Amino acid sequence: MKKKILNKLNIKDNYISKVYFKSLNKFNNNTICFANQVDKKTLKKINRLKSGIIILSKKNSLIKKKILQIINPKPKKFFFKLLNDNVKKSNTNYKKTIFGKNTFIHKTVTFGSNCKIGYGTKILANVVIGDNVIIGRNCNIKSNSVIGQRGFGNFHVKNRIICITHIGGVKIGNDVEIGALNTIAGGTLDNTVIKSNNKFDDHVHIAHNCEIHENNEFTAGVILGGSIKIGKNNFFGLNSTIKNGIKIGNNNLIGTSSNVVKNISSDNLVYGNPAKTFKKN
């Protein structure tokens, strides 16, 4: 795959031993990513690396020469087209699921490749688990949930809508409860992450690339868009909706049917459409 990618980019340098697709947040040696813009913190991280490829809309003179810059007017579209063209959609290196002790797995559960299920976890009937899913200890997953299949992401080529290949998985911590008919999408490039002691009611949707820290409660019908970051100890009321890319702090109460379209700090009462934020008394 390395040779194919470098040829596509008209790169003849041989010092990149392998090429991995990563997000800008996970950009590291021997990886390729895209960026619409590069802030000072990210610039420092990039310039500490020994090798890598970054796709930008215009050349950045502050990035050191050891990082190869590919200039394209639409970096995101170019990156994901490259990903789709170079990552095999069918998994030819299937890896069996690893089960911890004292697990209960209903006979109708299906697993993708390279999954791990922790000690004491229970997975009930008709659950579907995709590739690269890690589930921790003492979790409970109710019937008909889907974890780790491709999320919703597309790009347009002329009059066609092309689905983006997802290579990330899902990582779930310990003591997590997942209700019936939940959907937790696998990450586009990095994992969708749910840390320990989160509780999900039935009919909850978690889109790709979300990162949820400990001790949150999600009641029925909650919808999280993609790439949302949530802190600790939050409560999400019935049918609340969180816009993609939103950041939420700690100790917030999100009211029933709230439509959250702006970032939320900590210790707030949030409700309405669009949602408004009020400090708790």
pLDDT digits (tens, 9 = 90+) for 150-172: 999 998 888 899 999 999 999 99
102: confidence class by pLDDT, cuts 50, 70, 90: very high
pLDDT per residue as tens digits for the range 107-135:
999 999 999 999 999 999 999 999 999 99
Q: Tell me, what's the pLDDT at 158?
A: 86
pLDDT per residue as tens digits for the range 55-78:
999 999 999 988 999 999 999 999
pLDDT per residue as tens digits for the range 1-31:
555 555 655 555 554 446 789 999 889 998 9
Q: Tell me, what's the pLDDT at 264?
A: 97
Q: Does 106 participate in catalysis according to the annotation?
A: no
Domains of the chain: 2-86 (no CATH), 98-279 (2.160.10.10)
pLDDT per residue as tens digits for the range 205-259:
999 999 999 999 999 999 999 999 999 999 999 999 999 999 999 999 999 999 9
Q: Tell me, what's the pLDDT at 90?
A: 45
Q: Tell me, what's the pLDDT at 30?
A: 87
DSSP for the chain?
A: -HHHHHHHTT---------EE--GGG--TTEEEE-S---HHHHHHHHT-SSEEEEESS--TTS-TTEEEEE-SSHHHHHHHHHHHHS-SS-SS--PPEE-TT-EE-TT-EE-SS-EE-TT-EE-TT-EE-SSEEE-TT-EE-TT-EES-----EEEETTEEEEPPP---EEE-SS-EE-TT-EEPPPSSS-EEE-TT-EE-SS-EE-TT-EE-SS-EE-TT-EE-TT-EE-SS-EE-TT-EE-TT-EE-SS-EEPTT-EE-S-B-SSEEEEETTEEEEE--
Q: Tell me, what's the pLDDT at 18?
A: 63
User: How many degrees, rounded to 5, is the angle at CA 57 between CA 52 and CA 63?
Assistant: 40
Which tokens belong to 163?
A: 């689905």
Q: What number of CA atoms fall less than 13 Å from residue 175's CA on the CB side?
A: 8
pTM of the model: 0.89
| Active-site entry in 166, 203, 205, 208 | 208
Counting other chains too, the contacts that 105-114 makes at CB distance below 8 Å and 24 or more residues apart are 112/148, 114/169
Share of the chain above pLDDT 90, in %: 79
